[in-house]
Structure 1
Amino acid sequence: MMDIASPSVRTKETKSEGRGVQSIEQGAKLLAALADEAEPMMLKDLAKVAGFAPAQAHAYLVSYRKIGMIEQDEDTGRYRLGHFAIDLGMTRMRASDPIEMACDAAKELSKSTSLNVALVVWGSFGPTVIHVYESGSQINMNTRPGTVYSMTGTASGQIFSAFLPETAVKEAINKEKREGALSGRVGQARFVSKKEMDHIRDVGFATVEDPPVPGISAYSAPIFDYSDQIILAMTIIGEDQYLQSALEDTFIPALLATTQKLSAELGYRPSR
Structure 2
Amino acid sequence: MKVEGRGVQSIEVGGRILTALIELGQPTMLRDLAARAGMTSAQAHAYLVSYRKLGLVEQNPANGHYFLGPLALQLGLVRMRGSDPLRMASDTSIELSEATGYMVTVTVWGTHGPTIIQVHEAAYPVHVNLRAGALYTLTGTATGRLFAAIYPFEVVRTLLAREMRAEQKAQHLPSGKSREAFTEDFDEIRRLGYATTEGVPVPGINAVSVPVFDQSQKMQFALTAIGPTSALDVRTGSRDVAGVAEAINRLSEKLGYRPDLAANPAPAKPRMRPRRG
TM over 0.5: yes
TM value normalised by structure 2: 0.82
- Measure how far apart 1:135 and its partner are: 1.4
Match of 1:254 among 243, 247, 263: 243
Residues 121 and 233 of structure 1 are in contact (CA less than 8 Å); yes or no, is this contact kept in structure 2? yes
Residues in 2 aligned to 1:173 and 1:246: alpha-carbon distance in whole angstroms:
26
Match of 1:128 among 112, 115, 122: 115
Alignment of 1:224-263 (within 5 A): 224-244=213-233, 248-263=237-252
TM value normalised by structure 1: 0.83
Residues 194 and 208 of structure 2 are in contact (CA less than 8 Å); yes or no, is this contact kept in structure 1? yes
Residues in 2 aligned to 1:23 and 1:235: alpha-carbon distance in whole angstroms:
40
Percent identity for Structure 1 against Structure 2? 43
Match of 1:271 among 260, 265, 273: 260
Match of 1:104 among 91, 106, 128: 91
Which segment is superposed worse, 232-241 or 167-176? 167-176
5+ long unaligned stretches in structure 1: 4-10, 182-189
Using a 3 Å threshold, how does the CA distance of structure 1 residues 209 and 245 change in structure 2: closer, same or farther? closer
5+ long unaligned stretches in structure 2: 168-177, 262-277
Using a 3 Å threshold, how does the CA distance of structure 1 residues 75 and 115 change in structure 2: closer, same or farther? same
1:183-219 per-position Cα deviation (integer Å, ceiling 9, x unaligned): xxxxxxx755332222212322212356222222211
Residues 196 and 234 of structure 2 are in contact (CA less than 8 Å); yes or no, is this contact kept in structure 1? no
Alignment of 1:154-169 (within 5 A): 154-169=141-156
Map of 1:8 onto structure 2: none
Residues 162 and 200 of structure 1 are in contact (CA less than 8 Å); yes or no, is this contact kept in structure 2? yes
Map of 2:26 onto structure 1: 39
Residues 37 and 271 of structure 1 are in contact (CA less than 8 Å); yes or no, is this contact kept in structure 2? no
Aligned to 2:259, the other structure's residue is in SS state coil
1:122-164 per-position Cα deviation (integer Å, ceiling 9, x unaligned): 1121111111111144432121101111112110011112212
Work out the number of aligned pairs and report it: 250
Residues in 2 aligned to 1:171 and 1:44: alpha-carbon distance in whole angstroms:
52
Match of 2:56 among 62, 69, 72: 69
Aligned to 1:159, the other structure's residue is in SS state helix
Residues in 2 aligned to 1:244 and 1:24: alpha-carbon distance in whole angstroms:
41
Residues in 2 aligned to 1:128 and 1:62: alpha-carbon distance in whole angstroms:
50
Map of 2:268 onto structure 1: none
Alignment of 1:140-151 (within 5 A): 140-151=127-138
